[in-house]
Amino acid sequence: MLSIVGLGYNVSGQVTPETRNVMIGADRLVYLVTDSAMAAWVRSLHPDTTSLHDCYQAGVSGMEASNAMVERIVEPLFEGLTVCAAFSGNPAIAMHTTHEALRRARERGISSRMFPAVSFEDCLIADLGVDPGQLGRMMYEATDFVLHPRPLDVTSALVLLQVGAIGERMYREGAGSNRTGVRLLQEVLERTYPGDHEVTLYRMAQLPIADASVQRVPLSRLAESEVHVNSTLYVPRLEPPRRSPEIAERLGLESGLGAAHPTRS
């Protein structure tokens, strides 16, 4: 049995009781987390706990490191052990390691499950006070975004992950950004958005005593702003969506009004 769990952030504050029980009940617990306090908490739960962080080595590509983690996760499964792999944030978002480990396990007929968790985007939505259910949003990994140009819907918000690591293939120590990549991102965005369009560089709080980092700047100043490897860029919509009179009439909605009753899913 393979369980992939997310820990959210703020040490153990966002860990669900279900996730904690899965971690404790596994034969082997491996983890990759973003701060030493969370690492210490994870180690306190289980006598057989191993960090995956040593898969990162200077001069080793991110994909090589990810594949090494996958091997560490799945190898005990083939010995008949149950394994729990725990990751900061939500393990379903922008994590090749977790999805590949699940694929490898299921390919061998091993029961596997991923448990959701608080993600960086959940924190961003709460800290910035935006509602993607009302405003809409597009989300891309930043390197993928600049490498693969797409038509942008300027009536929705845009969320870009890891804007400080654009074009980075090899692991390196430190939190500084790739300035060349950030300048390229600004150039790409300015093909669609005006230079005075306000964007937000965001980093979630890692500890309960810390505050999130929220830096609002005009797009024209993005490349000269303080950007970290794990910074997320939030670009608000440029204009409201256009209403379809035909559809509104068919739905029986008055002009300028939305749905009669808000819904939740």
160 and 208 in a single domain? The answer is: yes
Q: What total number of domains does the chain contain?
A: 2
203 and 162 in a single domain? The answer is: yes
Pick from 113, 71, 77, 63: nearest CA to 92: 113
- CA geometry: angle 86, 90, 91, nearest 5 deg: 55
CATH number at 67 reads 3.40.1010.10
Single out the residue in 66, 89, 115 at which a domain terminates: 115
In this structure, is residue 249 part of a structural domain? Answer: no
141 and 216 in a single domain? The answer is: yes
What pTM was estimated for this model as a whole? 0.86
Pick from 78, 139, 90: nearest CA to 114: 90
166 and 106 in a single domain? The answer is: no
pLDDT at 265 (0 to 100) = 43
pLDDT at 173 (0 to 100) = 57
In this structure, is residue 246 part of a structural domain? Answer: no
Cα–Cα distance measured from residue 140 to residue 142, given in angstroms and rounded to the nearest whole number: 6
Report helix, strand and coil shares of the chain as percent, to nearest 5: 35, 20, 45
Q: What digits encode the pLDDT tens for the residues 14-23?
A: 999 999 999 9
In this structure, is residue 196 part of a structural domain? Answer: yes
56 and 139 in a single domain? The answer is: no
In this structure, is residue 254 part of a structural domain? Answer: no
In this structure, is residue 151 part of a structural domain? Answer: yes
26 and 92 in a single domain? The answer is: yes
pLDDT at 170 (0 to 100) = 63
Q: What is the DSSP letter of 89?
A: B
Single out the residue in 115, 138, 162 at which a domain terminates: 115
Q: What is the DSSP letter of 3?
A: E
Single out the residue in 95, 115, 135 at which a domain terminates: 115
90 and 127 in a single domain? The answer is: no
Nearby residues of 139 by Cβ (< 8 Å), 6 or more positions away: 121, 158, 159, 160, 161
Is the predicted pLDDT of residue 261 greater than 50, yes or no?
A: no
126 and 31 in a single domain? The answer is: no
109 and 131 in a single domain? The answer is: no
> For residue 216, how many other CB atoms are within 10 A of its CB?
12
Extended beta strands in 88-229, E state: 112-115, 137-141, 157-161, 198-203, 213-218
CATH number at 208 reads 3.30.950.10
96 and 160 in a single domain? The answer is: no
Contact 226, 216 (CB under 8 A): no
Name the burial class of residue 84, with classes exposed (0-12), middle (13-18) and buried (19+) by CB atoms within 10 angstroms of its CB. Answer: buried
Q: What digits encode the pLDDT tens for the residues 78-137?
A: 999 999 999 999 999 989 999 999 999 999 999 999 999 999 999 999 999 999 998 899
In this structure, is residue 251 part of a structural domain? Answer: no
Characterize 139-176 residue by residue with b for buried, 16 or more Cβ atoms within 10 angstroms of its Cβ, and e for exposed: eebbbebbeeeeebebebbbbbbbbbbbebeeeeeeee
Domain holding 40, by residue range, is: 2-115
85 and 143 in a single domain? The answer is: no
29 and 106 in a single domain? The answer is: yes
Pick from 72, 74, 79, 83: nearest CA to 27: 83
pLDDT at 2 (0 to 100) = 97
